[in-house]
Structure 1
Amino acid sequence: MKAQFLLVPATALVAVAAPVYAKVYLSIEQAQQLMFPGATLIQQPLTLTAGQVHAIEKASHTDVLSRQLRLWKVSTGGWFIIDQVVGKHAFIPIALGLDGTGAVKSIEILEYREAFGSEVRNPKWLAQFDGKRNGATLTLTRDIQNISGATLSSKHITDGVRRLLATYALAIAPH
């Protein structure tokens, strides 16, 4: 009697063993209604020019990841922006609500794909950004508290908010 062995490709074993951590918290529409209840939002996509990208990067000390901005004008005043920042291993989609003067109204984490650090969704942590405007230093551990175990996500979200505030001041508000 011959012994038979079941050969399973190594990639199949890895795929089975790798846990999935992605968690969707809010859709874009849900975030819009949460931030601007009852308002009408009109999408106004914006493509940043090379000059705007350079100015935003200089002002925010953060790289612009995409020249395409997903932007909505809010009927009751303000702006709603969808963007993403790099976590430790994956992108973190965020929604940023700005009031009519360009100050942060609120921020929401739409999805989180990392194994650790989902504490960045904590409303108290996110509330640190409320009222911030372009020009605020927004430095992790100095202006914004760090979250142990989510240091990279905390830093990149902070950098992303600073970048979006500069984007508002340099590319959205002038129009």
Structure 2
Amino acid sequence: MKYISLFILLLTQQLSAQLLVSPIDAMKENFDRNATITKKNILLTHDKFKTIQKNAGVKLTTKIYRVYIAKKNGKILGYGVLVNRKVRSKNAVTLYFFKDSVLQGIEVIAFNETLEYLPPKRWTQQFENRKTDKVLKLNREITNISGATMSAKSLTDGSRIAFAIYNMLYKDK
């Protein structure tokens, strides 16, 4: 019962930011408008939590994540890993799209900071077509944003968490 209450609390926190686009719509837009999208809530075991945290090189704040799966005609088209990170003092929720061990791109689903800190689409395109075995770092593979450094760091760190979750649970399956 304790885990169920914690799970519900954390999911409501993930959705507390200002919703910009529905995760289902973002998945359909990225993979196929006619795809069937299912969502799976994942509660990481202690060992998986530690492994993902180590592989991501980022401190995790929760053991609960949501993964979306796009299917059409029984075939998996891709995955979406939803990651909730603080930017300054408020949450940003980002969906990271994966297909065949490649990050296809990202979509900011909800953003509760001032919208002027929301990275532009041109900047988020840097995440497109990145292999999941590569660790993305700000100011190396991903250029920074002047005036929105904390947003850039949050999204880049989130990508490493999403990579680690995808690689552990879905890569080569």
In structure 1, the residue matched to 2:23 is: 28
CA contact (8 A) 2:111 2:118 kept: no
TM-score (structure 2 length as normaliser): 0.79
In structure 2, the residue matched to 1:110 is: 109
| Matched-pair identity in % | 24
Q: How many residues align?
A: 152
* Superposed displacement of residue 55, structure 1: 0.8
* Superposed displacement of residue 24, structure 1: 3.0
Bigger Rg, structure 1 or 2: 1
TM-score (structure 1 length as normaliser): 0.78
Alignment gaps of 5+ in structure 1: 1-21
- The 1:29/1:42 distance shift into structure 2, 3 A limit, reads closer
Letter of the 2:84 counterpart: Q
Partner of 1:110, secondary structure, is strand
**Structure with greater strand share of residues:** 2
* Superposed displacement of residue 32, structure 1: 2.0
Alignment gaps of 5+ in structure 2: 1-16
- The 1:55/1:126 distance shift into structure 2, 3 A limit, reads same
In structure 2, the residue matched to 1:96 is: 96
Partner of 1:136, secondary structure, is coil
RMSD: 1.9
| Matches for 1:12-161 after TM superposition, within 5 Å | 23-36=18-31, 37-75=33-71, 76-99=76-99, 101-115=100-114, 117-120=116-119, 122-161=120-159
In structure 2, the residue matched to 1:172 is: 170
CA contact (8 A) 1:48 1:171 kept: no
